[in-house]
Amino acid sequence: MFYTKTTFIGIDPTAGDHPFVYAALDHELRLLALGQGSMEDILAFAAGQHQAVAAVCAPRLPNQGLMARPEIRQDLTPAPTPGRWLNFRLADYLLRQRRLSSVQTPAEEEQCPRWMRNGFLLYRRLEGLGYQIYPHEQAELQCLEVYPHACYAALLGKLPFPKHSLEGRIQRQLVLYENRLNVPDPMRIFEEITRHRILKGVLELDNLYTPGELDALVAAYTAHLASNHPDQVTVLGDPREGEVVLPAAELKGKYS
C-alpha cells in the first residue's frame, strides 16, 4: 500500500477554540505543509490525498469501560490496585504506568473537554472520507492516534523539557532534525544569542517552531514510521477504545 506518493499528516486539535495545527511530510520526510486552519480546512486537505496516513493528537474514542473488566485487569502486569483506574482507557493506564503523564479520557463524550470532543469529531469525519483505522494493510487512507508528549519521550529516551519553554522547543525540534526531518537545525538560534542582542531585546527565532507545530510534526513523523517501519513503533491500548502509536520499537518501563 505505501508508495512514495503517500502523504503523512499530523494534526493537533488541542488548542480548543483556536485553529487546528497541521503538518504534512512526504516519503522522504520533506515538509510539504505546516500551518493552521479550521476543521474544514484540515478535512479539505485530507480529502485531497490519494494515499495518506493521518495522525491525530487526541483520543479516538471515550473510554469504553475496559479497565473495569476483570478479564482486562488480570492480564496487566503489574495488576492495577483494586478499585483504581476504573474510569481510564487502557492506553491511558499503560502510559501512566511508564510515568508518561496523559489526560484521563472520560467515558461520556459530553464530559470530555472541548479539544477532545473536537478530536472525536475529526476521527469520525476522516472515517467518512474513507480513512481506515491503523493498521489496515489494504487501505490507501489510514488514521491513527498519537500522544506528542509520549512520542518525544520515546524518541529521547527520557521525559522532555516542558513544551512551552524555550529549551523544550529546541529539544523537540532537535530530535526531529536528528531523525532526518527536513526542519531547520534549532542550534542555529544560538548564533542569534549575543550579548548585544540580549541587551537590546532583539532575538530572531524564526527557525524555531511553535509547540503546536512541533506536536503536529512529531505526529506526522510517527505516521511515517508506523507506515514504513511498523516494527519500529509500539502500540498501546485496545482498538475498541483507541490505541496510541509511539515512535519506538521498545518502551522503557519508566521514564524520568
The tens digit of pLDDT for each residue in 202-249 reads 666 778 999 999 999 999 999 999 999 999 999 999 999 999 999 999
Q: Quote the DSSP letter at residue 230.
A: G
How high is the pLDDT of residue 105? Answer: 95
What the block records as the C-alpha cell of 32 is: 510539504
Cα gap 114→117, rounded to integer Å: 5
Looking at the domain assignment, is residue 200 inside a domain? no
63 has pLDDT over 60: yes
| Residue 149 grid cell | 508528549
pLDDT, average across residues 38-66: 97
1 domain residue, yes or no: no
> 6-10, 88-92, 118-122, 185-189: which has the minimum mean pLDDT?
185-189
Residue 45 lies in a domain: yes
Give the count of domains, the chain.
1
For residues 43 and 137, the model is more confident at 43
Whose cell is 529546541? That residue is 170
C-alpha cell recorded at residue 252: 522503557
Residue 123 within any structural domain of the chain: yes
On whether residue 85 sits in a domain, the answer given is no
Domain that holds residue 46: 7-60+113-183+211-246
pLDDT digits 0-9 by tens, 128-171:
999 999 998 889 999 999 999 999 999 999 999 999 999 999 99
pLDDT at residue number 93: 96
Strand partners, 141: 52
Q: Mean pLDDT across the chain, nearest whole number?
A: 93
Amino acid at 144: L
Q: Quick one: which of 128, 146, 149, 119 has its CA closest to 13?
A: 119
pLDDT class of 1 with cuts at 50, 70, 90: very low
- CATH number, domain containing residue 147: 3.30.420
Q: State the pLDDT at residue 243.
A: 98
Residue 90 covered by a domain:
no
Cα gap 90→92, rounded to integer Å: 5
Helices in 166-238 by DSSP H: which ranges?
166-178, 195-200, 211-228
Strand partners, 52: 7, 141
Query: How far is residue 76's CA from residue 23's CA, in Å, rounded to a whole number?
Result: 35
Q: Is residue 203 part of a domain?
A: no
Q: Has residue 251 been placed in a domain? A: no
CA atoms of 20 and 121, how far apart (whole Å): 13
